[in-house]
Every structure is written in C-alpha cells, then in structure tokens.
Amino acid sequence: MRLTRCLRLAAAVSCGVLALPAFAQERGLSFSITGGAGVAPDYFGSDSVSVGPAGSFGFGGLRFGALALGTLDTPEQFAPGFGPYGAFRFIGKRDGKDELEGMDDVKASVEIGAGLQYTEDFWQVFGELRYGAIGHNAVAGELGANVIFRGESGLVLNAGPRAEFGNRRFNRTYFGVSEAEATASQDAGGSLTAFSPSAGFYSVGVEAGAYQPLSADWGLSGSVRFDRLRGDAADSPIVQQGSRNQISAEIGLTRHFNLRF
C-alpha cells in the first residue's frame, strides 16, 4: 500500500537582499515542520486507498549579515504578497497490485521544483513546476487558486481549484501500458491493452484546507482534496479498471521554529 501524495514543501519566500545597518544586523532562521497522517489512492487511477505518514516543511526567513530573505516572525498562513516558493512531492513505488499483474514496477519518485504565487488577504493564485530528480526523471506541475477566510481566533480556511499536468514521459510512466506489458497482463489473465498517452493535464479537482494556531509555536492543519483524472489519463486502461475519482486527505501538527545565532 502506497501513498501517492504524502509530502509537499510549501516554502513561500519573500525574496530580497537588504543591506542593514551594522547595529541592526541579526542572524536567524525561521521555519516550520508539520507531521501527521494522510490517506490517498494507492497509485494514480487506483480505486483503493492507503493510510500512511504525511508531512511538510515551510521556510519562513533567513537573516545572515546583509542577506535578508522572508521574515523571522512566526510564519503567517497565506501571507499577502508576490514571490517564489520551493516545491516538493514524493510519489510512492507502484508494485504488487493484483489488478496490475504483468505491469513493470514503477520506482518511488522525488520531485523538486519551484513556483510563483500571488496572495491577497482573501484570495491566492499559484503555479509550480517540478522535476523527478529521483525516479521518473520527468516534468510535472500544478496550477491552482484559493479563496481565503481568516477568523479572529487565527483560524485560516482556504479552498479552490487545482489542475495537474505532466510531460509525455510523466504521463507514460503512470498511465501508459507498453506492448510487452499488455501481453504479460493478458497472459496472466488480465485485460490491460497497450496505451501511449501524450503530454498534458491529467487531472482537475478542488482542495480545501484549514489551519488553527494552538500557540505561538504550534498549530493544527488539515486538508481534503478531490481530483478527477481527465484526458489521456482517463482513457488509460490502468484507470479504466480503477477509478477516475481520486480522494486524499491529511491532518498534522505544525511546530514553528525561530532560531537566533
């Protein structure tokens, strides 16, 4: 059993280099770590889900000499502004599935990349691009938007559309079936047929999330997401025998760190 989505780096950075007066220079690093549990499809197109660990890392700010990135204050959720952020996704190994008998295993992949976001008090838009540095060695990305609600208690709610895309190599890795795999599947009593998807958007959906601060250093976060596979991905024999509907959710405890040195 594998989680398709279990880790994602949300490292929003307000980038800038400041030359601070010598007496005002302060060295420090602020960041946050979230750990918890999540549930997600076993693989792209699966109609069964797995429960496993989930987590994320958020960069707040860095001060070192004349270098100033972000802020050393407690990270603000969906802080207004425009800037880049780091992106990370882990996709678990796909293997040992009876319904995929004859298919080659797909190694676990680690995607790293970057994105741009623009955030106002009550809305946000973003886009990111990631490369599978470990595993699939393909390119994938996401476009999205959020409506944001900020409560007096510090509660922050967000919800909005999501769209995921991949290049040809990515879509073939997770939705394609080679001639050899199709033959092996049918020899094993399966029904998979050869299929070669093209590049493009493979899913559209919606995500909703919440964050409640518990103190200056601790917070509770959670999210639920629905994706529907589309285009060539929806036509894949892998998805046809599984499900186009993909539901995932996670909940975690966040610890904020503000270090001075």
Supply 180's token pair.
Answer: 């050899």
Q: Percentages helix, strand, coil for the chain, rounded to the nearest 5?
A: 10, 55, 35
Q: Where are the domains of the chain?
A: 11-260
- Please tell me the distance from the alpha carbon of residue 169 to that of residue 111, in angstroms, as a whole number: 14
**What is the maximum span of the chain, computed from C-alpha positions, in angstroms?**
75
pLDDT, tens digit only, all 261 positions of the chain: 344 444 444 444 444 444 444 445 678 888 899 999 999 999 999 999 999 999 888 887 888 888 877 777 766 788 888 988 889 999 999 998 999 999 999 999 999 999 999 999 999 999 999 999 999 999 999 999 999 999 999 999 999 999 999 999 999 999 999 999 999 999 999 999 999 999 999 999 999 999 999 998 999 999 999 999 999 999 999 999 999 999 999 999 999 998 988
CB–CB of 116/87 below 8 Å?
A: no
Confidence (pTM): 0.86
- Please tell me the distance from the alpha carbon of residue 15 to that of residue 81, in angstroms, as a whole number: 11
